[in-house]
Amino acid sequence: MNLNPFRWSFRARCFLGFVLCAALIGFAIFSQMQWGLQPCPLCIFQRIAFAALGLVFLIGALHAPRSLGGRRAYSMLALVTAGIGAAISGRHVWLQHLPPDQVPACGPGLNYMMEAMPFLGVIRKVLTGSGECANVDWSFLGLSMPAWSLVWFVLLAFWALNAASTRR
């Protein structure tokens, strides 16, 4: 087997994308369970976006279309999903960089909002952010967890675009 991932088949590239998404979700759950980092609503939406992206990669790996059009369709679906995740992460990073006097007030928890509000209202409320989303509880190499999520969404989007160009 070739060790250069840029020479792998579409199936192998999609499977690697799925494994990366699963590992990122696993790290988020590990940090919640082991380190006590409770996810804010935007963090939960980022996990959902990683799960959706991983699902697209997994289905692409299982299907492994032979036609260039089929591979491009999966890659574009992954690109759109990664773009949505990047937008959520970008919003989260933006909230974390607001001056303290401009941070929105803390809102109710996601569970309460799901019970008390319609689904689209919950999405709108979560995407506007709250004070708890502006807290930086963890960082690595100077980047917060949402910033790392943004980096990974961008990398996975490029990986999906690269997978579309494979001939196998």
- CA-wise closest residue to 164 among 49, 78, 59: 78
User: Which of 68, 73, 32 lies closest to 56, judged by CA?
Assistant: 73
Amino acid identity of 72?
R
Active-site residue, 40 included: yes
Of 11, 21, 40, 91, which one is the catalytic site residue? 40
Short-list 25, 17, 9, 95, CA closest to 56: 17
- The DSSP call for residue 97 is T
Is 133 known to be catalytic?
A: yes
Q: Quick check: is 21 catalytic?
A: no
Annotation marks residue 71 as catalytic:
no
Helix, strand, coil share of the chain (percent; to 5): 75, 0, 25
User: Which pair of structure tokens corresponds to residue 111?
Assistant: 């569970």
Q: Determine the pLDDT at residue 49.
A: 96
| Residue ranges in the chain modelled with pLDDT below 70 | 1, 100, 102-113, 122-134, 167-168
Structural domains in the chain? 6-164 (1.20.1550.10)
H helix or E strand, kind and range, residue 93 = helix 68-96
Q: What is the pLDDT of residue 139?
A: 73
The answer to whether residue 14 is catalytic is no
